[in-house]
Amino acid sequence: MTEIPVDPDWQDGKNHPRWRAFQEIVAERNRQDEKWGEQNHPPEWWLAILVEEVGEFAEAIQHRQFGGPAGAGVLVEAVHVAAVAFSIVECCERNGWNHAPDEGGE
Ligand SMILES: [Mg+2]
């Protein structure tokens, strides 16, 4: 796994929540790449994938609150949402979606 360097301003180093979050998101991104390969979807597909993960996050929250098998998965589903959003940004970078149409992008 690629390790994100610790920001020197973080007094608690690798115990900083942002460092731990980056580790989990990058690990999930690597897992997604191993499973699916490089993903270059049109924006509407990405939106559907992201909303599906947001739905799983919502289900985990509901099960945590009211009981259910997905109740222990709030963090896991939050990481999935973040990793899919990260993958969308990667796709934007690969495909030149980082500019408005009048700025030379698509
Ligand atoms: Mg999920």
What integer pLDDT is reported at residue 13 of this predicted model? Answer: 83
Alpha-carbon distance of 28 to 47, in angstroms, equals: 18
Ligand 1 center–CA 45 separation, angstroms: 16
DSSP state of 104: T
Tell me the residues surrounding ligand 1 (ion) with CB < 5 Å.
53, 56, 77, 80
- For 39, other C-beta atoms within 10 Å of its C-beta total 17
Q: What is the rounded distance in angstroms from the CA atom of residue 89 to the CA atom of residue 50?
A: 12
Place of tokens 């490089």: 38
Cα of 56 to ligand 1 centre, how many Å?
5
**pLDDT score of 102 more than 70:** no
52 CA from centroid of ligand 1 (Å): 8
pLDDT tens column, 15-53: 899 999 999 999 999 999 999 999 999 999 999 999 999
Residues 40-69 as b/e (b if ≥16 CB within 10 A, e otherwise) read eeeeeebeebbeebbebbebbbebeeeeee
Q: Provide DSSP, 49-66.
A: HHHHHHHHHHHHHHHHHH
Check residues 6 and 65 and name the one with the higher pLDDT: 65
The pLDDT confidence band at residue 104, using thresholds 50, 70 and 90, is: low
pLDDT of the residue at 98: 72
pTM: 0.85
